């Protein structure tokens, strides 16, 4: 099970340093498409061990008003807040294998 | 348009290219299954539909010809076709290797818009397209309430049924769709070319800068309903740089699409220009929808063209410059000048005929979403739907729409 942290390249992007500092494994994919924006996608294997660190990074990003989206199985997770993010990540992790793309 | 002859031309190309692909090493450049890293990225970033729907033969022709162009620039790229709700054509790099991911669902949209405008001549098709687009966009944005609302509207109005009927109507516009898809893929490729050859920007920059400042086409703006919405057109440094790069990519894409697929005996220059123009119109309509949806979810991005007046003005500049580009390509290939400028006349006609068709349904979406936003604000409880419940609603919509 993976999740993607997606950020728009620019001043308000989520920097990969934050992920490295927390020892979170990831692959980074920089993509561009018709609208001209450059998007950075951090593909992260989700596990119990990283949920705490990941929650911290997402909360910090929300507070810093950084442009991030959290994507799981091609679907954005809507309504993420400081209060519910940990629960959401745990729910996704506990559903491992159920809805994963074949 | 001599549609039959052009279809024969495309079919001939498909047979020719596949003969070549099967015989040599090109096979590995058009993988049906991408390698592990790319597969993982695609699976996690997009909501894909069954791969059996993919028309590899058709797209491999486009890729094969584009590859020949890339050899000139010593650029190696692997092409991959997907079919996803995201309708997104994207380029990326993994471990130094460049990839182009083309979304067949975007091509299906081009074909539908062409059929709706040129063949069936019914703008209701685009109203129905908008409803389905809203369901699918809110679905990939994980917004279950909005996705459900528009799903119900689609059912009540038979929008999905009518849309499916339009999709399944035999296309008489294949030539246009083929040109548009080639152009769109080449536009993305052009960004890669520019990245490796930045002098291509400086070569044309001054001329384009002047064009943006003077906007010589503005004489005709009063004909463009969209332009009535335009207020001030202030380009900051970022937007101007971005627009110039987009225009240069349009030039490159037009040049190579013209070289590859323009044949004076099969298509007139006007038809070729119209095909590209309508392709850009379709992209603008989709961008417009995305902008309206982004505004609804309160993520308007000032740096992008989600500002509607900005979007209209920028695309007007692109249309007129593409017209100039096609005119000069035509002149250099056939060593003849147009007696009068038929492309110019075409664009003037377009401004009359196309606006209501290509813009009204999309601007209606803006009104609908504004009303929806005001209505949902009154219901605080809707903000606290648990994540698992949202996922289950979204999965249900997938099954009902035939995704997954």
What is the pLDDT averaged over residues A60-77? 88
Within an 8 Å CB–CB cutoff, is residue B140 touching chain A? Answer: yes
Answer yes or no: do B48 and A91 touch at CB < 8 A.
no
Instruction: Compute the count of residue pairs across chains A and B with CB atoms less than 8 Å apart.
Output: 99
Element (H, E) at B165: helix B159-168
In this prediction, residues B99-103 reach a mean pLDDT of: 92
Query: Distance (Å, rounded) from C-alpha A46 to C-alpha A52?
Result: 11
For B113-122, b/e burial (b = at least 16 CB within 10 A) is bbbbbbebee
Instruction: Indicate if the pLDDT at residue A83 is higher than 70.
Output: yes
- State residue A70's pLDDT score: 93
pLDDT at B20 over 80: no
For the ranges A71-75, B119-123, B334-338, B354-358, which has the lowest average pLDDT? B334-338
Query: Using the beta-carbon criterion (under 8 Å), do B41 and A79 form an inter-chain contact?
Result: no
A8 interfacial to chain B (CB closer than 8 Å): yes
Is B289 near chain A, with CB under 8 Å? no
pTM (predicted TM-score): 0.87
- DSSP per-residue string spanning B128-142: HHHHHHHHHHHHHTT
**B236 contact A CB<8A:** no
Per-residue pLDDT tens for B356-379? Answer: 777 788 888 988 998 998 888 887
Measured from the Cβ of residue B196, the count of other Cβ atoms closer than 10 Å reads: 11
Q: Does the predicted interface ipTM exceed a cut of 0.95?
A: no
* Residue among B90, B142, B383 whose CB faces A33 most closely: B90
Q: Which residues of A touch B244 (CB under 8 A)?
A: none
The string of pLDDT tens digits covering residues B237-286 is 878 888 899 899 999 999 999 888 777 677 787 788 888 888 988 998 89
* Higher-scoring residue by pLDDT: B61, B133: B133
* B236-250 pLDDT, tens digit each: 787 888 889 989 999
Taking an 8 Å cut-off on Cβ atoms, the answer to whether B89 and A33 are in contact is yes
Query: Would you list the domain boundaries of chain A?
Result: 2-94
CATH number, span A2-94: 3.30.70
- Cα separation, B318 vs B281, whole angstroms: 11
> Can you tell me which residue has the tokens 């800068």?
B209
Mean pLDDT of chain B: 81
| Whether A44 contacts chain B with CB within 8 A | no
Does any CB of chain A come closer than 8 Å to the CB of residue B44? yes
Candidates B40, B85, B191; nearest CB to A43 = B40
Tokens representing residue B381 in the block? 């409880």
B45 touches chain A (CB under 8 A): yes
- For residue A32, the model assigns a pLDDT of 87
- Provide the shortest C-alpha distance from residue B288 to chain A (in Å): 11
Instruction: Give the pLDDT confidence of A26-61 residue by residue, as tens digits.
Output: 999 999 888 778 899 999 999 999 999 999 999 998
pLDDT attached to residue B225? 45
pLDDT category, B300, cuts 50, 70, 90?
Answer: low
pLDDT surpassing 90 at residue B213: no
B382: chain A residues, CB-CB within 8 Å: none
Residue pair B323/B274 in contact (Cβ under 8 Å)? The answer is no
Which residue in B has a C-alpha nearest to residue A80's C-alpha?
B387
% chain B with pLDDT above 90: 26
Identify whether the C-beta of residue B48 lies closer than 8 Å to the C-beta of residue B82: yes
pLDDT level of residue B26 (50, 70, 90 thresholds): low
């Amino acid at each position: 099970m993976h999740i993607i942290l997606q950020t728009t390249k620019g001043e308000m992007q989520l920097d990969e340093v934050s992920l490295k500092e927390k020892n979170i494994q990831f692959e980074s994919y920089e993509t561009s498409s018709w609208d001209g924006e450059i998007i950075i996608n951090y593909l992260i294997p989700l596990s119990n061990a990283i949920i705490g660190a990941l929650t911290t990074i997402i909360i910090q990003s929300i507070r810093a008003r950084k442009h991030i989206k959290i994507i799981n199985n091609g679907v954005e997770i809507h309504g993420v807040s400081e209060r519910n993010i940990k629960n959401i990540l745990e729910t996704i992790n506990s559903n491992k294998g159920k809805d994963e793309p074949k | 348009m001599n549609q039959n002859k052009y279809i024969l031309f495309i079919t001939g190309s498909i047979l020719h290219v596949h003969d070549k692909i099967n015989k040599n090493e090109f096979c590995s450049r058009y993988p049906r299954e991408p390698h592990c890293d790319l597969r993982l990225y695609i699976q996690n970033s997009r909501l894909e539909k069954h791969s059996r729907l993919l028309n590899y033969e058709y797209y491999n022709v486009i890729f094969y010809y584009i590859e020949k162009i890339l050899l000139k620039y010593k650029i190696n790229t692997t092409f991959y076709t997907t079919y996803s709700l995201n309708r997104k054509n994207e380029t990326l790099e993994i471990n130094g290797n460049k990839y182009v991911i083309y979304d067949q669902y975007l091509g299906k949209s081009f074909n539908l818009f062409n059929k709706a405008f040129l063949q069936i001549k019914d703008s209701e098709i685009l109203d129905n397209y908008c409803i389905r687009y809203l369901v699918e966009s809110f679905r990939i944005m994980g917004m279950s309430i909005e996705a459900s609302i528009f799903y119900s509207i689609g059912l009540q109005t038979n929008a999905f049924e009518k849309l499916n009927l339009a999709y399944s109507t035999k296309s008489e516009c294949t030539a246009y769709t083929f040109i548009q898809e080639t152009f769109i893929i080449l536009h993305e490729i052009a960004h890669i070319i520019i990245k490796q050859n930045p002098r291509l920007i400086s070569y044309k920059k001054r001329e384009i800068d002047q064009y943006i400042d003077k906007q010589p086409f503005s004489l005709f703006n009063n004909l463009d309903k969209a332009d009535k919405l335009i207020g001030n057109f202030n380009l900051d440094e970022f937007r101007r740089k971005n627009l110039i790069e987009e225009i240069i990519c349009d030039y490159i894409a037009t040049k190579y699409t013209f070289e590859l697929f323009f044949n004076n005996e099969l298509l007139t220059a006007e038809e070729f220009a119209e095909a590209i123009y309508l392709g850009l119109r379709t992209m603008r309509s989709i961008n417009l929808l995305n902008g309206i949806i982004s505004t609804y979810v309160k993520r308007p991005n000032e740096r992008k063209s989600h500002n509607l007046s900005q979007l209209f003005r920028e695309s007007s500049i692109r249309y007129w410059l593409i017209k100039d580009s096609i005119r000069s390509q035509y002149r250099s290939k056939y060593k003849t000048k147009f007696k009068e400028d038929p492309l110019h006349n075409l664009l003037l006609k377009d401004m009359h005929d196309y606006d209501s068709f290509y813009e009204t349904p999309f601007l209606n979406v803006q009104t609908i979403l504004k009303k929806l936003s005001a209505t949902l604000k009154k219901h605080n409880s809707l903000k606290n739907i648990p994540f698992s419940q949202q996922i289950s609603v979204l999965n249900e919509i997938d099954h009902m729409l035939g995704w997954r």
